[in-house]
Amino acid sequence: MEIVVSKDLLKANDTIAAANRARLSALNLNMINLLGSPGSGKTTVLEALGKVWQGSKRIGVIEGDLATSRDGERIEAIGWPATQINTGGGCHLEANMVANALESLPLDDLNLLVVENVGNLVCTASHDLGEKLRIVVLSVTEGHDKVAKYPPMFQKADVVVFNKADILEYTDFSIEQATEDALRLNPELTFFTVSARTGAGINELADFLLAQLT
């Protein structure tokens, strides 16, 4: 019984995600689904991209959190339009939440749309939101074993960003091992190593995103 309900819910989600995708495609606007553990640095990566693109590109951001509007406020501080979804207890965003959030953003006036999902390396993987590209931020302080331990997230991603490279030397993280494990799950992945805090590697990520999405 529960499994049937769950499958129906996922199917309903996929239908709405497809509608989001069609709507954005008609506007020639692409959406990124930005995923990762709590504290992997998703918002800080956006802030770092903001420093690169500020003035030249206008990005709309949908922020998903259980509670608080802190991340939305950080994005608005860049000067980008942001809208905050508070899920209450919900562990991931769903396509209908994003459909509603689209109503409050100036879509005609954007170069790119980013959804920052709830910090979660599990549930967020199974919900299509209508994105063109999935980016997983994995901070090097989390340990390279996380790739093999949370396979669906990496199987369904397009890009892996290894973040917090500025403190890599104080961790036991092996970028080689994480890359090898991720490619075993998904040979199509593209990788970037960055420090969102210092800005190292962010230009390369920014160039890639612009080439892919605008």
By the rule CB under 8 A, 143 interacts with a second copy: yes
DSSP code for 103: T
Q: Which is nearer to a second copy, 1 or 26 (CB)?
A: 1
Judged by beta carbon, residue 58 or residue 74, the one nearer a second copy is 74
CB 87 within 8 A of CB 117: no
Q: How far is CA 42 from the centre of its chain?
A: 7
Name beta bridge partners: 85: 64
By CB atoms closer than 10 A (0-12, 13-18, 19+), residue 141 is: middle
DSSP assignment letter at 104: T
Out of 18, 27, 77, 122, point to the residue binding a second copy (CB under 8 A): 122
**Binding status of residue 149 toward a second copy by CB under 8 A:** yes
Distance CA 34, CA 105 (A): 18
Which residue in 170, 177, 184, 214 binds a second copy (CB under 8 A)? 170
Residue from the set 164, 165, 193, 196 that interacts with a second copy by CB under 8 A: 164
- Give contact residues for a second copy (rule: CB under 8 A): 1-2, 5, 9, 37-39, 65-68, 70-71, 89-91, 118-123, 125-126, 139, 141-143, 145-146, 148-152, 164, 166-167, 170-171
